Amino acid sequence: MYGQYLEQVQQQKPLVHCITNYVTVNDCANIVLACGASPIMADEAKEVEDITSICNSLVINIGTLNERTVAAMVKAGKRANALGHPVILDPVGAGASALRTETVFQLLREVKFTAIRGNISEIKTVAMGSGTTKGVDADVADEINEQTLPEVLQFARRLAEETGAVIIITGKQDLLTDGVHSCLISNGHAMMSRITGSGCMLTCLLGAYLAANKTNLFAACAAAVAEMGLAGEMAYQPNCGTLTFRTRLLDAVSTMTGNMLDGGAKIEAL
Amino acid sequence: MYGQYLEQVQQQKPLVHCITNYVTVNDCANIVLACGASPIMADEAKEVEDITSICNSLVINIGTLNERTVAAMVKAGKRANALGHPVILDPVGAGASALRTETVFQLLREVKFTAIRGNISEIKTVAMGSGTTKGVDADVADEINEQTLPEVLQFARRLAEETGAVIIITGKQDLLTDGVHSCLISNGHAMMSRITGSGCMLTCLLGAYLAANKTNLFAACAAAVAEMGLAGEMAYQPNCGTLTFRTRLLDAVSTMTGNMLDGGAKIEAL
Amino acid sequence: MYGQYLEQVQQQKPLVHCITNYVTVNDCANIVLACGASPIMADEAKEVEDITSICNSLVINIGTLNERTVAAMVKAGKRANALGHPVILDPVGAGASALRTETVFQLLREVKFTAIRGNISEIKTVAMGSGTTKGVDADVADEINEQTLPEVLQFARRLAEETGAVIIITGKQDLLTDGVHSCLISNGHAMMSRITGSGCMLTCLLGAYLAANKTNLFAACAAAVAEMGLAGEMAYQPNCGTLTFRTRLLDAVSTMTGNMLDGGAKIEAL
């Protein structure tokens, strides 16, 4: 069932415009190619409107933001909104510096996002920017587990309603909600946190899936998150080093089929 | 016969100054090292003249251009021209944004290039900047095949004459011409288009070959293009994932000898 | 004995703030993760003070410096000094351009470094900035071997005294001194110079080790240098290509234990 969203990516081969950080940008470009789509990396304000206009979706990742690129993010985001393209936000390190937090708040004011993916800490910072996190909310758990799931889910649903975005909180388990539908995804492997870029790559994968599945946004997000986790499971070997794991992770994405994703996805509706 | 140009690289170990994009820059540095040369990446206008002066060739790649780096490209290009260093242009995405197209036109006006490498679409944009593409020319085919070869060749020859550069159009087959000599190269593997950086890496390989073979520019370009394609053929394995393919591609370049290149090059004079 | 410094990294999992070049930044982030620490890459002047404040050490690498990032280096360095965090300098290409040389001099004036790592040529440029290199000193040998060791050691000791930093000169053999203690490290493999980033990665590894071993700075530096070299020895296989070597190098760091480092380190006190 979820494999069809991957098959759409492979058939439509969408173009994904990525404004992303220079740490993991190569892995991001390669994962977009691996899943069957094509990446264009461009972050100069003078050209981002042209570039995003020929693409099918836009990914904004603030991992190594600077003044020049923040201006480009806003411009590209507005144009992508005007064109009806899916726009995905990865608020890397939101909360770690005033600049990151303020940039996230600015982006939330000026751009409408289709999906927002981060860890629980980053998503809590996003929630403050959306006006969601007040009083009790600020105390939402820092980890998703059986005990904390109900409160994190409630928090994420409210943020989804306020932003209109699919909220994707990744961690040991991944929680997704669009305010109406919600699910918990249990794919993945601990080695994914021992390489840089697992999160950034997933966000770019979301860019590809959403571009190719504009009428099934929530299910497409779930499929992308499950594919990334399943690729991590397939990549792991006992005693394997971290860079071999990275190679095998991208290899797994590049050889994944819809059937394999259907067979391996661990998605539980909430 | 073509292997000698690789051997010159390995013996002379030229320094290649690369002003290139941050997506594939690591692969570019590694391929320059793999073929036996040394890379220096530097894109700050305040230092590019110093840097290019201690190098043997200059590669300009506009893949993630911005105002700051375009100024550096022009400065470095002029200095390299004054010093008689080979200068190679990779007009990544020319035609995809006004900024890229105008930057290519500016570079063509201010810098003399020894070689220009791109896909057919990018090279057509280059031709507009050189004043070559008018009327009928704008209709040159979008792909090189048996039918279209004569017209693409004629178009490329005219561009070579107007720019004084070796024109290298890469695709399933690669067409090279300096206006006088022309050839078609049939090395390569389809997997090369499933990773990011195949084109950027080839352009940097051209930088190494031209630096070490300044009296045989056309033949050196052909040898570099053939080596890249041959490495792709050697890298491929059935069912291999894309990142394993990338690793094996660079491994193949790093272990290639002149004899291997002579044995595997598929270069047909036109 | 040296393995304990690695174990401290693995137990404390320090955060390392890296302002580094875009060529090898991905490898740098991955090696910091591989050794058990966590990297944060951030180079915007507006946020580097915030970022460095939540970290445990700071690495400054000038490999692809520009005006914007030099300002960030100075700001971050001052804040890290104020907080008592170890600060490590990698003067990539010092001497290759006036901008690089002047930037190194500026950094030496404005920031106090805990360790400085470079090849002999780069370290000689550093010495000119510290006022160390005058007259005879400018003639210090360009390579460390049995003949030149006494003079290079004397030169390095003086630089260590003047800067207060552990001086780390890497090459076929690596020379370390804090002015009082000195050692020669003979780990490593020639393949390390056939990939980009061996030096940059080591500097980031030093960032991790120093953050976790603040009361044993000299010994921690020696342990980090030995681990990098030992990983190179473990990574090598006959006929292996350069990108496979890079993968295996990072794999070796990610699976290294204190016992393995104790068993393989070749550190000779001078």
pLDDT digits (tens, 9 = 90+) for B87-123: 999 999 999 999 999 999 999 999 999 999 999 999 9
3-class secondary structure, B100: helix
Helix (H, G, I), strand (E, B) or coil at A118: strand
C63 touches chain B (CB under 8 A): yes
pLDDT tens figures, C120-177: 999 999 998 776 654 445 567 788 888 999 999 999 999 999 999 999 999 999 999 9
Indicate yes or no: CB of B247 within 8 angstroms of CB of A252.
Answer: no
User: Which chains would you list as touching B if contact means 3+ CB atom pairs under 8 Å?
Assistant: A, C
Token look-up 């201006």 returns A71
How many angstroms separate the CA atoms of B123 and B46, rounded?
30
In chain B, residues with a C-beta closer than 8 Å to the C-beta of C197 are: 26, 29
Whether C9 contacts chain A with CB within 8 A: no
Q: Sorting pLDDT into bands at 50, 70 and 90, what band is A12?
A: very high
Residue C180 is classified by DSSP as: S
Binary contact (C26, A97; C-beta < 8 A): no
Say what the pLDDT of residue A139 is.
Answer: 63
| A139-148, B54-63, C179-188, C214-223: least confident range | A139-148
Question: Is a pLDDT exceeding 80 seen at residue B133?
Answer: no
> DSSP secondary-structure letter at C10?
H
Dihedral sign, CA of A211, C25, C239, B209? positive
Residue in chain A nearest B22 by alpha carbon:
A22
CB-CB contact of C32 with C16 (8 Å): yes
Q: What is the CA radius of gyration of chain C?
A: 17
Q: Which tokens hold the place of A110?
A: 């000026």
Res A131: pLDDT: 63
The letter for the amino acid at B270 is: L
pLDDT at C14: 98
B184 vs B178: CA distance, rounded Å: 13
Split at pLDDT 50, 70, 90, the class of A130 is confident
Query: What residue spans of C13-119 are helical by DSSP H?
Result: 25-34, 45-53, 67-83, 98-110
- State the smallest CA–CA distance between residue C247 and chain A in angstroms: 5
Here the tokens at position B71 are 């100024």
Chain C nearest C-alpha distance from A21 (Å): 9
Residue B243 Cα, gap to closest chain A Cα (Å): 5
Cβ distance of C97 and B248 shorter than 8 Å: no
Q: Are B47 and C64 in contact (CB under 8 A)?
A: no
pTM: predicted TM-score of the whole model, two decimal places: 0.97
Helices and strands: H and E segment counts in chain A: 11, 9
Which segments of chain B are extended strands (E)? 15-19, 38-41, 57-61, 87-90, 115-118, 166-169, 174-177, 182-185, 267-269
**Any chain C CB within 8 A of the CB of B237?**
no
Please give the radius of gyration of chain A, using alpha carbons only, rounded to the nearest integer. 17
User: What is the structure's pLDDT at C139?
Assistant: 64
Residue-level pLDDT at B140: 75
Q: Which of B42, B249, B251 sits opposite C64 (nearest CB)?
A: B42
d(CA B63, CA B24): 9
> What confidence score (pLDDT) does residue C136 get?
44
Question: Would the CB atoms of A196 and C33 count as touching at under 8 Å?
Answer: yes
Put simply, the answer to whether A51 touches B96 (Cβ < 8 Å) is: yes
Residue A239 has its nearest CB partner, among C41, C247, C255, at C255
Inter-chain CB proximity B50 and C98 less than 8 Å: yes
Predicted complex: ipTM over 0.90: yes
Region of A179 please: left (phi>0), alpha (psi -120 to 50) or beta: left
**For residue A129, what pLDDT is reported?**
77
Q: Which residues contact B18 (CB under 8 A, 6 or more apart)?
A: B25, B28, B29, B32, B39, B40, B41, B58, B59, B61, B204, B207
The pLDDT assigned to A103 comes to 97
What are the tens digits of pLDDT across the range C76-128? 999 999 999 999 999 999 999 999 999 999 999 999 999 999 999 999 999 98
Q: Which residue of A has its CA nearest to B26?
A: A26
Note whether C247 contacts A242, CB cutoff 8 Å: no
Residue A176 structure tokens: 């997704």
Chains that touch C (3 or more CB pairs under 8 A): A, B
Interface of B with C in 20-39 (CB under 8 A): 22, 25-26, 29-30, 33-34, 39
Q: How far off is chain A from C137, nearest CA to CA, in Å?
A: 39
Q: Does B201 touch chain C (CB under 8 A)?
A: no
C-beta atoms of C30 and A242 within 8 A:
yes
Q: Which of A20, A191, A196, A239 is the best residue to mutate to test the C interface, defined by the most C CB atoms within 10 Å of its own CB? A: A196
Residue with tokens 């004899």: B259
Q: Are A81 and A111 in contact (CB under 8 A)?
A: yes
pLDDT score, position A142: 80
Whether the per-residue pLDDT at B137 is higher than 60: the answer is no
Q: How many CB atoms lie within 10 A of CB B13?
A: 15
Mean pLDDT of C40-55: 97
- Is the Cβ of B71 closer than 8 Å to some Cβ of chain A? no
pLDDT for A226 equals 98
- C18 to chain B nearest CA, in Å? 17
Q: Note whether C247 contacts A243, CB cutoff 8 Å.
A: yes
- DSSP state at residue B195: S
Mention every residue, 6+ apart, whose C-beta is less than 8 A from residue B144.
B120, B152, B169, B171, B172, B173, B175, B184
pLDDT for residue C6: 98
Q: State whether A29 and B26 contact (CB < 8 Å).
A: no
Structure token pair of residue C157: 């000791």
Q: What is d(CA B1, CA B146) in angstroms, rounded to the nearest whole number?
A: 27
Return the residue of A nearest to B65 by Cα: A44
pLDDT in tens, C242-251: 999 999 999 9
- Our CA-based measurement puts residue B196 at a distance from the nearest CA of chain A, in whole angstroms, of 6
CA dihedral for B220, B222, B224, B230, sign (positive or negative): negative
Place of tokens 């946004």: A217
Average pLDDT over residues A46-61: 98
CA angle C259, C265, C266 (to 5 degrees): 155
Residue that has been written with the tokens 């190494």 in this structure: B208
Residue of A nearest to B23 (CA): A26
Is some CB atom of chain A closer than 8 A to the CB atom of C71? no
Report chain B residues whose CB lies below 8 A from the CB of C67: 44, 46
* Mean predicted confidence (pLDDT) in A38-58: 97
Q: Is A248 close to B239, i.e. CB distance below 8 A? A: no
Strand partners for A174: A185
How many CB contacts within 8 angstroms connect chain B with chain C?
Answer: 85
